Amino acid sequence: MVDITFDPSQCVKCGACVRVCPMGHLVMTDAGPDVGRGGCMGCLQCAAICPRDAVRADGKRATVPESFDSLEALVMSRRSVRSFKPEPPDRKTIQWALDRANYAPSGKNQRSHRFTVVYGREAVEAVRQTALDYCRQSGFAPELPKLAEKGVDPVTCGAPVLIFCWSPRDSVNPGTDSVLALETAELLLVSRGVGTCWAGYMRRLADRSPALREKLGVPENCAVDCCLMAGRPAGGGFVNIPARPPAEAIWVDR
């Protein structure tokens, strides 16, 4: 777990970090932001958004983007967006990214994945309500209806678009192909100014709920592999790149 502290000589208590904290664990106190309520997942959205670079993660400060090769810059500066403008990005941009995602690697070149795009706030809200109904009826993820009552929505974050990717369970690499395709689409969307956030809650609910599967057009023999929220980001964007540890890798040389 990442130890998050705030440099009091830099923090101006603007509250940006509190607003961006995905699960509402960060609170503002007289002494400044406090992560004491627990449950912090170390995503470092607080460090990415802080205009004063006051957040320290295990004592390390975030870096302001400098000059990177453009792909490296895209990979490092992408952050999960959870605050969206209500109008969806145009359909052409989304279709362009999905078409290009067909160039992602795919086991045996099967490209068996299919997308379902839920387009527009009204359509997304209908899907969210169906998902919450499923939670209430089945007891799955009981925290979600409770969070919804408090106005917290980690399922869709108010996004105007959801992109689901699904594939037959008996394809060569079910899941992997879909994730590669959707991640390719994600990076392309981000490169065109669309904000994104993976939607694990929604994926699990869509895979389980018969009503959602029907709404999304997912056949019986297919698994819902992944889901992405997308939309134009609202408000000020991220200005820093949070410190992430180096990769833990085992190197086998002989």
Ligand X SMILES: Cc1cc2nc3c(=O)[nH]c(=O)nc-3n(C[C@H](O)[C@H](O)[C@H](O)COP(=O)(O)O)c2cc1C
List of residues contacting ligand X (CB under 6 A): 22, 41, 43, 45, 79-80, 82, 154, 157, 197-201
Nearest distance from residue 156's CB to ligand X, in Å?
A: 9
Q: Which is nearer to ligand X, 20 or 54 (CB)?
A: 20
Give the E-state strand segments of 14-75 in sequence order.
27-29, 32-34, 55-57, 60-61
Q: Which is nearer to ligand X, 33 or 242 (CB)?
A: 242
Residue nearest to ligand X (CB): 200
Do 225 and 179 meet the contact criterion of CB atoms below 8 Å apart?
yes
In eight-state DSSP terms, residue 108 is G
Nearest distance from residue 60's CB to ligand X, in Å?
A: 15
Nearest distance from residue 81's CB to ligand X, in Å?
A: 8
Read off φ and ψ for residue 253, nearest 5 degrees.
-100, -20
Q: Which is nearer to ligand X, 188 or 197 (CB)?
A: 197
Long-range pairs of 24-29 with CB within 8 A, sequence gap ≥ 24: 24/152
- Dist. CA 158–CA 125, nearest whole Å: 8
Nearest distance from residue 243's CB to ligand X, in Å?
A: 12
Q: Which is nearer to ligand X, 79 or 213 (CB)?
A: 79
Q: Is 225 helix (H, G, I), strand (E, B) or coil?
A: strand
- Closest by CA to 238, choosing from 94, 83, 89, 121, is 83
Do 42 and 23 meet the contact criterion of CB atoms below 8 Å apart?
no
Nearest distance from residue 106's CB to ligand X, in Å?
A: 19
Q: Is 85 helix (H, G, I), strand (E, B) or coil?
A: coil
Q: Which is nearer to ligand X, 11 or 152 (CB)?
A: 152
Q: Which is nearer to ligand X, 94 or 226 (CB)?
A: 226
Nearest distance from residue 214's CB to ligand X, in Å?
A: 22
Q: Which is nearer to ligand X, 92 or 151 (CB)?
A: 151
- Dist. CA 95–CA 212, nearest whole Å: 22
Nearest distance from residue 144's CB to ligand X, in Å?
A: 10
- Dist. CA 44–CA 62, nearest whole Å: 9
- Dist. CA 61–CA 118, nearest whole Å: 38
Q: Is 137 helix (H, G, I), strand (E, B) or coil?
A: helix
